[in-house]
Structure 1
Amino acid sequence: MEITFLGTGVAIPEKGRVQSGLLVRLEDKPLLVDCGSGVLSRFPDAGVSHTEVDTVLLSHLHLDHVADLLPLIKANWLRGKTDMRVYGPEGTDDWFSKVIGAYGYILDEVDVDVIEVYPGKEFTLEGFDCEITCVTASHSVPTLAYRVTAEDGEFVYSGDTEPCRNIMDLAIESDLLIHECSFPPGTKVTNHTTPSTLAEMLENYNKEIGSICLTHFYPEMKGHGKEAIHRLKDYVDGEVILAEDLMKLEL
């Protein structure tokens, strides 16, 4: 399993980071997890054709996680690929219908199947040899964290969230937890995570999680990477990794 971080940033522009998106290659088939603004433009840099993607998993519907979904569908259509499956939390079907409904010239040309999934659901993806479990994250809108289990590894993706037991429990005995870390230690914030608040949650777990990769950085996190690693390194069995755009991890 190979994970490529297409975007590790947020809604505020920062040099070198676009908005949220992961490309997970499972037995040579790519699964896209979130699709924020700028993610589509990362495909050539990652050496992947956007037309390979026919399945997208959305954590929630904030723009920095979904803004490039319709551009991706259009780009595929312009290259003759019209099918897409989109999995997401409650409200995804209504949101997508409104967005694509504004572009009638695309609406009748593509075949997009939207599947809403709910906390606690275990499901498989058509064409993939993996199992996915989702739980509720702690954010300002309905948000799902996902655990992807395949033959060659398991990882959890938090989406946007405060640290919460739902996600930590989901990540027990996983190889990798990809967790948002929006702001520096000591920042008072809701709906998001800092190294301090994540460490406080991890104190309740006895190194039961493999490695942690931090992502979804606001510009305020710049210069605080070493501090974040130092704050968290004693709570995981493996490494604490700071995600960068186009970084690849192998499980």
Structure 2
Amino acid sequence: MKLTILGSGSPEAYARRASTGYLLEIGDDKILFDCGGGVFDNLVRSGRLPSDITHLFFTHLHTDHMMDYARLVHAAWDEGAPPLKVWGPAPIARQTELLFGRDGVLSPDLIARTELAPSQQVWVARGGSLPRAWPAPDVTEVKPGFTVEGDGWVLNSCEVPHAQPAFDCMAFSVVSRGKKFVYSGDAGICPKLSALQRDADLLIHWCYRLSIDSVHPAIAEFSPTPAEIAKAAQAARVKRLLITHFRIHMDSAEGHASANAELAEHFKGPAGIVEDLEVYAI
């Protein structure tokens, strides 16, 4: 397995970090976890095409995890890709229909691209055929605990505390050829996540605050510090730990020093803070 960081930031507009997105490659499958703002551009910067993505899994539906969804689907469609396979919590099916349906917000664009003669001829010149179908992602709405079996890999999931009851929030694990990757999504530490990440070869865990930050108790409850994340990973026998979802104020020299010191103190394996476009072998 190969992991590429396509977005390691937060909802904040930030040149250094796109919002959330992670690409996991297993054989011919290119699996995208979340698709926040800026992830599309980093996908292209990484040398891939939108049409390369074979699977898309959403942990939850905060916009910083799915703002580039429409752009990804539209661009892959314009490249002639087959319908993208998408899994996510409700209401992802309705959101998709509101984007790409006959009365969706993108319908004026899609009418123009599929019905106007100049656009039709551009499409035909690129190897397409008429009539041109509209984008139609293959969407499966799921609940925490769902499983998907791919070509040489198995994805499992669990519920994690974050934005309930507004929508379901999940973490994912992927096992392939004896190796295990876990992505926490946006998650407070909980027994289900501890079980899911047990013996992971690589855990990527969101970190929305530092121990040196002063935050409201409502934020602290579901936003663990680097020390808390490291302790939970160590208890679960995780082999390598990466923290992500860094906010702008956390990217100071002081913030990195604080986070890295806590990781080193409480986690015995390799650990660190990810950056956009980094690549990790699992």
Q: Same fold (TM over 0.5)?
A: yes
Mark the structure with the bigger radius of gyration.
2
C-alpha contact (below 8 Å) 1:21/1:39 kept by paired residues: yes
Residue 137, structure 1, aligned to residue 160, structure 2: yes
Q: CA deviation at 1:152?
A: 5.4
Which residue is 2:135 aligned to? Answer: 110
Instruction: For residues 187-219 of structure 1, give each alpha carbon's deviation from its aligned partner in whole angstroms, at most 9, with x where no partner exists.
Output: 33244332144246457x2x6111111011111
The residue correspondences of 1:1-251 to structure 2 (distance < 5 A) are 1-100=1-100, 101-104=104-107, 105-106=109-110, 109-125=134-150, 128-140=151-163, 141-151=167-177, 153-187=179-213, 188=215, 189-190=219-220, 191-199=222-230, 201-202=232-233, 205=235, 208-223=237-252, 224-251=255-282
Deviates more, 1:181-190 or 1:51-60: 181-190
Q: Which runs of 5+ in 1 are unaligned?
A: none
The one-letter code of the counterpart of 2:149 is T
RMSD: 2.0
Query: C-alpha separation between the residues in 1 aligned to 2:83 and 2:53?
Result: 9
Closer/same/farther in 2, CA of residues 152 and 40 from structure 1, 3 Å limit: farther
Q: CA deviation at 1:103?
A: 1.7
Comparing both structures, which one devotes a greater share of its residues to helix? 2
Deviates more, 1:232-241 or 1:71-80: 232-241
Q: Which runs of 5+ in 2 are unaligned?
A: 112-132
C-alpha contact (below 8 Å) 1:157/1:179 kept by paired residues: yes
Query: C-alpha separation between the residues in 1 aligned to 2:198 and 2:140?
Result: 27
Query: C-alpha separation between the residues in 2 aligned to 1:218 and 1:45?
Result: 22
Other structure's SS at 2:204 match = strand
Query: C-alpha separation between the residues in 2 aligned to 1:129 and 1:61?
Result: 28
Instruction: For residues 39-75 of structure 1, give each alpha carbon's deviation from its aligned partner in whole angstroms, at most 9, with x where no partner exists.
Output: 1111232111221113101111111110111101111
Query: C-alpha separation between the residues in 2 aligned to 1:93 and 1:27?
Result: 28
Q: CA deviation at 1:96?
A: 2.2
C-alpha contact (below 8 Å) 2:263/2:272 kept by paired residues: no
Query: C-alpha separation between the residues in 1 aligned to 2:212 and 2:189?
Result: 14
Other structure's SS at 1:177 match = strand
Deviates more, 1:100-109 or 1:226-235: 100-109
Query: C-alpha separation between the residues in 1 aligned to 2:86 and 2:92?
Result: 9
C-alpha contact (below 8 Å) 1:59/1:144 kept by paired residues: yes
Instruction: For residues 149-206 of structure 1, give each alpha carbon's deviation from its aligned partner in whole angstroms, at most 9, with x where no partner exists.
Output: 1115211101112222221211011101110001111433244332144246457x2x
Query: C-alpha separation between the residues in 1 aligned to 2:211 and 2:70?
Result: 35
Query: C-alpha separation between the residues in 1 aligned to 2:137 and 2:25?
Result: 21
The one-letter code of the counterpart of 1:250 is A
C-alpha contact (below 8 Å) 2:83/2:135 kept by paired residues: yes
The one-letter code of the counterpart of 2:64 is D
TM-score, length-scaled by structure 2: 0.81
State the identity as a percent: 27
C-alpha contact (below 8 Å) 1:164/1:201 kept by paired residues: no
